[in-house]
A and B are shown apart, each in its own frame.
Chain A
Amino acid sequence: MFALFDSLLPLMSLGIAVAGGERTDAGFTTSNISEYEIFTQGYLQLPFDNVFLRPGARLGFGYNDSDGPSNPIRIFETTYKAGAELALLYSGIVVPTFSIQGFVLNRALKLSLPDNVTTNSNLMNRTEWLYSNTVSLSVGIPVFDGRVLIEPFYRLVNIDNDFRQDDLFGCEFSVSMNLQAADSL
C-alpha cells in the first residue's frame, strides 16, 4: 500500500458498481443508459462514534442502449470516466451514506448509418471531454462480518453540456482490503 494511504486510511476497500438510468433528449425521446464502475475507497473514522469519512476514486464506462442494427440513422455513445469522491457515512446495522463525486468523462460518438446512406464526412465520429458532478445517497448492508458491503444507491447526476440525464440507480459491491479493520467497522 502507498504511504499516503497508510497515513490517511486505516482501511481500504475495492469494489464494483452497476447502474442504470434513463435520459430524455430535447424532445420526449428517452433512452436507457448502463454504467459500470470499479472503485477503491478508504475509511477514516471521525471523532464521533461510528461516523466515517470515505474518500475514493472511480473508473467507469457507460453506453446508451442499442436499438439494434435496423435502426434509422443514429448517434451512439460510449463514455469512459474517471473521478474522485468523498463520502460521509454512519456505521450501524446498516450504513447510510452521503457522498459527492466529480468525474472527467471521455465520450466517443459514433454515427450509425443504414446501408442506403453514405457519408464522406468523418466529423460526426469523434470524442468529446465532459465534466460531471454527482451526489449519491446509499444504504450499505454489511455482510460477512462487514468484509463485504452491498450498497444500493441513488445518484443525482449533473453532466456539463448534457442535460439529458438526471439520475442513476445502482448497486455497489465492495470488499474490505484490511480484514482486521473490517471487523471494527
Chain B
Amino acid sequence: MKSDWMKTLSALARIAAGITLTLTISCSSSQPNFEAPYKANVISFTPRTSASDEAWTIDTKELTTLEQPSKVQGKYFEIVTGASIKIDSSTGSLTVATSTNHDRSDLRLENKNGVIIARDTLSLYALSAFHSFEQLFKQLIQVIPVSGEKLFDENGERLKVFLEPSLVERIELVSTVLTPKTNAAFNPERNDFYLFKSSNVEKIPLAANYKVIAHEFGHLIFKKSFDAGRMEKCQGEGEQEFSERKSDKNFAGRWGLEYSISGINEGFADFISYMFTRSTDPLKDAFIASYQGAQDDSRSLEGTAFTFNDLISDEVCSGRFYCIGTLFARALYQIAKNYESQPELITQFSYRVYATMTQVRELFKQSPFLDFLPTPSDTIAKCVRSPQITLPYDGSVLSAFLAAFISAYPDEKEKNALCASFEQLFGELGFKKETRRVCTL
C-alpha cells in the first residue's frame, strides 16, 4: 500500500515539475529586440494627386525619429498611453498623471522580419499616430517657414501625445471619470495632444487619422502664429479685474474666449490640415455611412455653400464656431487650389498666410483695428467662453480680425482675391462695411 502511495506521489511530483517548468518559461519572456532604423506596419495616408484619389493603407514605413519602440517614444514627441488627465473645473487647470503601472505602459509589439508589428489594436494605433506626427514634423517646412526641429527646440522637451487618455473632471469636491470617444484635441496650455478612444462609428480611427492629427497640429501652429507661441489665461474674478478687462480690448486671455476667434482657429487648423494632406475635408471617409455626421459636408472646403448670415440658425451649418472657421478656410482654399500642382507656389502661399497670422495680434493694438474691435462683452470680461454666436458682437470681432488679416497680407493680387472671398462669405454682418476700407488701401 505504502509503495503505491510512493508511486503516486512520484507521478504527481513529475506533473508538478512540468507545470513549474511551464511557469518558469512563461515568466522569463520579455519584449523582443528591435534595431534602428526602425520600420513598422502603420495606418498610412496617401494624399490625392491628379492621377489618383486619396487612399488609406496599412503599410511598412520607416520611423526615423523613433528612439524607444516599446514606449513609442521619439526624438521630438512621444505617444503616452494609460494617462489620466485631471481637469479642475473650478480653476480651469489641467494636470496630467501618467499611469503608475509602468509595465502596462509598454505597448505589445513583435519583431517580424525586421518590421515592428503591433500585437493589439492600441499598439497599432500608437505606431500609426507616431508615423502621422513624424510626417507632420518632416513636412512642416513645406507649410510654415519653420522646420520641425526648430519648432521642437523652442519648447525644449518632447511633445506629448496622449493616446486614449481618461479624463477626471473635478468639480469642487466631486471627481468624475470621463472616457471621451471619437475626438481629438490640442491643449494649448501644455502643448499636449489628446487622441481619444475610437468608437464603432469610425472607419479610420481618429487617433490614427493623419488628416485629423494634421488639424490638431494646425492648432499648435495657430498658437505659434496668432498667439506668438504664448498661452494667455483670463484670470481674476474680482470687480476691479472685471472693470479693467472691460476697458482693455486686448486684455490677456480674451482671444481664447472669443467665439469668432475660436472659429478662426478651427478654420486655420483645417487650412493647415489641407496644406499637409491636400484633403478638403479632414473628416471625409472617417465615419461609417450611417453615422449622422458622415454625410455632413459643411466642414468641407468644397462643401455646400453658406455664408455668415446663415449662422443665425443652425439649419445650414450646425457646427457652431467651426462654421465660422470653415468660411475662413474656404476663402484661403480659393487661392490655394490654384497652386495645387505647383508645390513651391503653394508652399509660398502657405508661408504668406502664416506670416500674416503672426501680425494680427499686433495690429489689434493699433488704429484703425483697435477701433474696429468691440468692447469686450460682459461674458468675455468675466472670463467665460461664449457658448453661442451673438450678433452683431461676434460679427464685429470677426470684422476686425479680417480687416487686420487683409491689411497685413503681403501679396496684392491675393489680397484682392481674399477681400472678394471675405465679402462674399462673411457678408455685411461678418465683414462690416466700415472695416472693408482696408481692401482699397
- Using a CB–CB cutoff of 8 Å, the interface residues on chain A facing chain B are 7-8, 24-29, 44, 47, 53, 55, 67-68, 70-75, 77, 83-86, 100-104, 109, 111, 113-121, 123-124, 126, 128, 130-133, 158-164
Contacts and interface: CB of A to CB of B under 8 A. Distances in A.
A149 B285 CA distance: 54
Contacts, number: 166
A66 to B, nearest CB: 11
A8 B205 CA distance: 56
Interface residues of B, number: 64
B120 A25 contact: yes
Given A29-B122, A70-B288, A124-B41, A111 B19 contact: no
* Residue in A47, A55, A104, A123 with the greatest tally of chain B CB atoms within 10 Å: A123
Contact of A55 (B15, B57, B123, B203): B15
Majority SS at the chain B contact face: mixed
Contact of A102 (B23, B55, B122): B23
B200 A123 contact: no
Q: 4 tightest CB-CB pairs across the interface, nearest first?
A: A102-B22, A131-B26, A119-B58, A27-B164
Contacts of A68: 200
B117 interface: yes
A72 B203 contact: yes
Interface stretch (B107-115, B240-248, B262-270, B373-381): B107-115
B29 interface: yes
Interface of B: 5, 7-8, 11-12, 15-16, 18-19, 22-23, 25-27, 29-31, 41, 43, 55-60, 81-82, 103-108, 110, 112-113, 115, 117-124, 126, 163-166, 179, 197-205, 208, 285, 288, 290
Nearest to A100: B19
A28 B285 contact: no
Nearest to A24: B104
B120 A119 contact: no
11 contacts: A24-B104, A27-B197, A29-B197, A70-B290, A73-B58, A73-B203, A84-B15, A102-B26, A114-B203, A115-B203, A117-B58
Contact of B205 (A26, A27, A73, A132): A73
A158 to B, nearest CB: 7
Contacts of B5: 47
B59 A119 contact: yes
Given A70-B288, A72-B202, A75-B118, A132 B26 contact: yes
* Residue in B22, B43, B106, B110 with the greatest tally of chain A CB atoms within 10 Å: B22
A126 B29 contact: no
B122 A117 contact: no
A71 B41 contact: no
* Residue in B165, B197, B201, B288 with the greatest tally of chain A CB atoms within 10 Å: B288
Given A101-B19, A119-B58, A124 B43 contact: no
Given A8-B8, A102-B19, A117-B56, A28 B26 contact: no
A159 B200 CA distance: 28
Nearest to A105: B26
A25 B121 contact: yes
A124 B118 contact: yes
A104 B103 CA distance: 23
